[in-house]
Amino acid sequence: MHKTASGHIAALVTILIWGTTFISTKVLLRVFTPIEILFIRFAVGYLALWCVCPRRLRVAERRQEWYFAAAGLCGVTLYYLFENIALTYTLASNVGVIISIAPFFTAIFSCLFLHDRRPTARFFVGLLVAVAGICMISFGSEAALRLNPLGDILAVMAAVIWAAFFTITKKISGFGYNTIQTTRRTFFYGLVFMLPVLAVMGFRVEPAQMYSASVILNLLFLGLGASALCFVTWNFAVKILGSVRTSVYIYMVPVITAVTSAVILHEKLGAAAVVGILLTLAGLFLSENRTIKKG
């Protein structure tokens, strides 16, 4: 019971931080491009994890290295790249809702590739309730739902990629290695796979851009908090709770974003958003509570 509780706490801490990263990203987008922010934050996270745990990870079997490479490609490079590109074509609210279906794909992948027991009907009822709540949060202030096929398809692909990352990290957790070392190895491959993207999109970061305290603090928050700390705590939660049970915490991201916007940015939180928050929390409870079917 104590071990399970620590898994839930780790997942909750992760989501609380991830739900507030949009503020730092908005500040940094005035100075850097999305790919520059992405590379810097994971480079900072990678170096921080080396400082915390300077021991080199030695894999027992060469084939395990492919799982780390796949995790870096999916969870670091492709997911954030697809999400950022999707945001340039469609509404942020669309992307937020579509990404929230990642737990559905996680459940499918876990059954197919990890041979996990299939989730009960309660899990899928919770999924529908949570998505309905997220829709109310996201579209409550929009005059109408606007669809853009390209942007929305990219967002769906991002959700599928994130679910694949969940599944791979669950497999990696079974290897029995130190969580910090496995996270660091994942970051390494993510940074390697980013290099071709940087070559195409450009990386023009200059020292003069780092003189602002606001820029430095926000980069440190994304690098140390949202990357180094959160990926470690998330991987720890997956190790304890499993990929499906941990993934439902993704529902909380729009809730935290909405509340943070109201508190920090003083954005109005309407009645629809409040109802949406309650629905999302109810969906989280339904999906997480006894998600796995016995037998």
Residue pLDDT, tens place only, 56-101: 999 999 999 999 999 999 999 999 888 878 877 766 666 766 777 7
Q: Burial code of 243-264, b = ≥16 C-beta within 10 A, e = fewer?
A: bbbbbbbbbbbbbbbbbbbeee
- Average pLDDT of the chain is 83
More confident residue, 225 or 209: 225
Q: Tell me how far apart the alpha carbons of residues 235 and 167 are, in angstroms, rounded to a whole number.
A: 11
Angstrom CA distances, 125 to 77, 97, 132, 280, stand at 32, 16, 11, 12
pLDDT digits (tens, 9 = 90+) for 103-129: 888 888 888 887 777 777 888 888 888
Mean pLDDT, rounded, for 237-247: 84
Section 235-249 average pLDDT: 85
Quote the CA–CA distance of 215 and 156 in Å, as a whole number.
Answer: 31
Q: Is the pTM of this model over 0.75?
A: yes
